[in-house]
Amino acid sequence: MLIRTHPTGKAGGKSSGVTLTDKQFEELKKLIESYVKVAAIGAMREISDKELERNARLLDAAGYSQPEIGVVLHRAQSNISDILAGKLTKRRKV
């Protein structure tokens, strides 16, 4: 668990195992917020191909593996591999 420490090195009276600078904390916060947004979008059944590709690329850039991206976006790892390779095919309406 990451704990942002106060300038005194203490957080809530307890010592922290990890200290983040304000800049690092803000970057981590933005990454988590982005992940939550992508997870919420991924939870929807119908998203556009453009959104699917953008979300897959965002998660890939954040360091998630293809299987992890597939879980978030409800797609097979092979589909995520195709998306990241630029081989996204249009989905047909059933």
In the chain, where are the structural domains located? 29-84
- CA 76 to chain centroid, in Å, comes to 17
Q: What is the pLDDT of residues 48-80, one digit of tens each?
A: 888 889 989 988 988 889 998 898 888 999 999
Sign of the Cα pseudo-torsion (58, 61, 65, 66, in order)? positive
Residues 14-27, mean pLDDT to the nearest whole number: 80
Residues 25-42, mean pLDDT to the nearest whole number: 80
